[in-house]
Amino acid sequence: MFIQVMPNGSMLWRLRYRFEGKQKLLALGAYPEVSLKRAREKRFEARTLLSEGKDPSFEKQEEKKKRSAEAANTFEIVARKWHEYSKDKHGWSQKYAKTIMTRLEADVFNRMGSLPINSINAVKMFEVLQDIEKRGVYEITRRVKQMCGQIFRYAITKGLVEYDATSGIDKKALSSKPVVHQVSIEPSELPQFLKDLYRNDARMYPTTRYAIEFILHTFVRTTELIKAKWSEFDFESATWTIPANRMKMKKIHIVPLSTQVLGILEDLKRYNGNYEWVFASATRPLDHMSDNAILKALERMGYRGRMTGHGFRSLAMTTILEKLEYPFDVVDAQLAHAKRTSLGAAYDRAKYLTQRRKMMQDWSNYIESITVGGDNVIEVKFG
């Protein structure tokens, strides 16, 4: 080992050695940046490689290539390549693609984006997910884990990693999203609710009031209601067919329409009959009612924390089971709660349709009876 003085005055540590009969020089670094102690350590490392039958110069070049490859394949770089690939392959919308990248930038890149993707193991991935989970955003934690898994699997196909670091994380290691039961009034409170609705002290737009009345009778999901189009309704057969892309379980859903609901629709035509949307926005009629319109209206009625749009589903199920005594499976089918079996989705859009049609009419008749009764609820026997 010696120091070589270059024409410009710089001094370099060199190690002269022989490999397979050939004399070679190995650069150990510049002096004084590399001290004598460190130069001796490098000499020892080189001799160890020689004793193993390896060429120190070749191994140094391979290590340099490896570091270069790692720098070019950090998690963030690979994730962005996956994002572009997936966006094109799956035809993501611009909004969805932006949401995915925003989530990665906010929750992942700042934690491990600069790390070589092949250096990230399950322990590091779990630490990142735990940091997100501590904020109480369990659904976001689940989605980030899912996205990262897709990125690792993309990297596997490119030969950048050998395994998916998310696959080694036990599902039970992360908290599940707490079950939040949607608030709903009790069946006994329904007469007063109807009184408040029709009195309309909250001064709701007619379309908003009709929307609340409509969702009470049909107990569909709020997202299914606000995007209802006139073209989905068949007045002759008294049915509303909700397309699969608007249903939670991605299956077409049939809603039998009672005579009372048909009456509501006829009244709505006076306001929105010339628009695409049944529940057109009162201020922007070319668009549908907003997601929060029903919730805000319920709050103005004095039902903040007591009733939500989704609460009408709970209210209907409880009341129909208790008051009208319909079988659970019939009510559940109308709620479009798809069950899963080993054969896939067991939900059938026409299942119990005859029974459901009768049930929906009985349910509307019940609502009408307690409305007519006012403070003195009229009990009506159905069936």
Residues belonging to the active site: 221, 248, 310, 313, 337, 347
Give 120-176 as a 3 state SS string. CCHHHHHHHHHHHHCCCCHHHHHHHHHHHHHHHHHHHHCCCCCCCCCCCCCHHHCCC
How far, in Å, CA of 294 to CA of 215, rounded? Answer: 10
DSSP 3-state of 340: strand
Q: Which two tokens stand for residue 212?
A: 């609340």
For residues 114-136, one letter each, b for 16 or more C-beta atoms within 10 angstroms of the residue's C-beta and e for the rest, the string is eebbbebebeebbebbeebbeee
Using CA atoms, how far apart are residues 60 and 54, in angstroms rounded to an integer?
11
204-217 burial, b at 16+ Cβ within 10 Å, e below that, comes to beebbbbbbbbbbb
Q: Report the alpha-carbon distance of residue 165 to residue 161 in Å, rounded.
A: 9
